[in-house]
Structure 1
Amino acid sequence: HAVEIDDRNAALAASKFARTPWRDRLHVHAMDIRRLRSAEPFDRIVSNPPFHDGTQRPLHDRRAVAKHGPDLSFPALIEVCDRLLSPTGRISLVLPLLRVKEIVSLAASNGLHPVRTFELCYVKDRPPKRALLELGRHPGLVDTGRLVVRGDSPLGYSPEVHRLLKDLLPAPTGSGRDLPLSE
């Protein structure tokens, strides 16, 4: 299941899902995640949530919904994930690096603990701006590291990202425009 609040992005995701080997198992819900109900809890929740506090909204409304979160705050997101997550499930989030401590604190108040934290660098020689945070219900050792996104592969990915995504990446066409990467 995928949940996307923006109808146009939900339709785009559905179109992309239809071209994958998993098309029979993927479904997009065009709705607010807070309205999602499921008879069975989820083992994995992956989110790239709105991450700005809503004080500096971009001019484009769709971009505002995607990046600014006055309607879906981090506390609301953590509460929803806690409700939908199975006892052994994991939550994976893409976040601004500077907000990771805030999310870890919010998660702890819901009985969720960091499992992995990776700083995400788009380019090798630039400082990280984002983080990949994985949360689970059981405290333990936290795996940490740094992941560089861009590299010299035909698709523009670093070897680390290519290894992580090898089953999901299309065969390169050689056009240099296979999968655009952006910061």
Structure 2
Amino acid sequence: MKIGTDGVLLGAWATAPNSTQSILDVGTGTGVIALMMAQRYSAELIDALEIDENAYEQAVENFERSDWGDRLFCYHAEFGEFVEEMQDEEKYDLIISNPPFYSSDYKTTSEERDIARFQDALPFELLLEGSTYLLSENGKLAVIIPKNQEERFLHIAKDFSLFPEKITYVKGTPDSEIKRCLISLISKSTETITDELVIEHKRHQYTEAYIKLVSPFYLKM
């Protein structure tokens, strides 16, 4: 699977608490976000989780070839199973996820693509509830979701006592609609900081803010 803008944005935008020791990337795909976390933070433990076998195998290979292979580990499992196994074993200071978001009404003929991109593989309810069992006391959950699902996502999050501390609204160009929300959640109700990020002035002419955010992860930007 290709590296998507959503994953790169999330990996560059999400901030871990001070003295972070453990990070979990849920639905890692080929491991891009987990690798970005390893580049950014010195956390001793960076776990990744992937249900698709081919993507899992690619993530493992990418981790082993990276400079941070000793801190990266990928599990081939479904999130609910992982939560049951790990909730009494490990707590994470940051859980990060670029969750699938298309509804099941729009399935394609590719099962792998469906698993990666459709919400029934990792419903918001499962991601949010499961995260409450795995987050450390001051831990954060960081996600990127479509703008049209923001209200529903935050409503579900509140049911599990997770509250937005920061939301960044993402626009393709200055005149386009907001398409994505980057959301950081914590377990304490707080005033939400909101801002906006524009990716391009026009096609392939990236804004200074976008370049500053993601350029550390590209060979050319």
TM-score by length of 1: 0.82
98 and 162 in structure 1: CA distance in 2 versus 1, 3 angstrom threshold? same
Matches within 5 A, 1:21-170: 21-36=67-82, 37-38=85-86, 39-150=89-200, 158-167=207-216, 169-170=217-218
Moved more, 66-75 or 113-122: 66-75
Deviation of 1:91 (Å)? 0.4
16 and 149 in structure 1: CA distance in 2 versus 1, 3 angstrom threshold? farther
Unaligned ranges ≥5, structure 1: 173-177, 179-183
62 and 124 in structure 1: CA distance in 2 versus 1, 3 angstrom threshold? farther
Deviation of 1:64 (Å)? 0.8
Name the structure, 1 or 2, with higher relative contact order (CA <8 Å, separation 6+).
2
Percent identical residues: 25
Deviation of 1:20 (Å)? 3.1
Deviation of 1:157 (Å)? 5.2
Structure 2 partner of 1:14: 60
Deviation of 1:71 (Å)? 3.8
Is the contact between residue 100 and residue 121 of structure 2 (CA under 8 Å) also seen in structure 1?
no
Deviation of 1:49 (Å)? 0.9
1:21 and 1:165 mapped to 2: Cα distance?
A: 19
1:165 and 1:18 mapped to 2: Cα distance?
A: 23
TM-score by length of 2: 0.69
2:201 and 2:65 mapped to 1: Cα distance?
A: 26
Unaligned ranges ≥5, structure 2: 1-46
Moved more, 124-133 or 60-69: 124-133
When the two structures are aligned, how many residues end up with a matched partner?
170
Deviation of 1:112 (Å)? 0.5
2:93 and 2:188 mapped to 1: Cα distance?
A: 14
The Cα RMSD (Å) is 2.2
- Give the structure with the larger helix fraction: 2
Deviation of 1:56 (Å)? 1.4
Structure 2 partner of 1:175: none
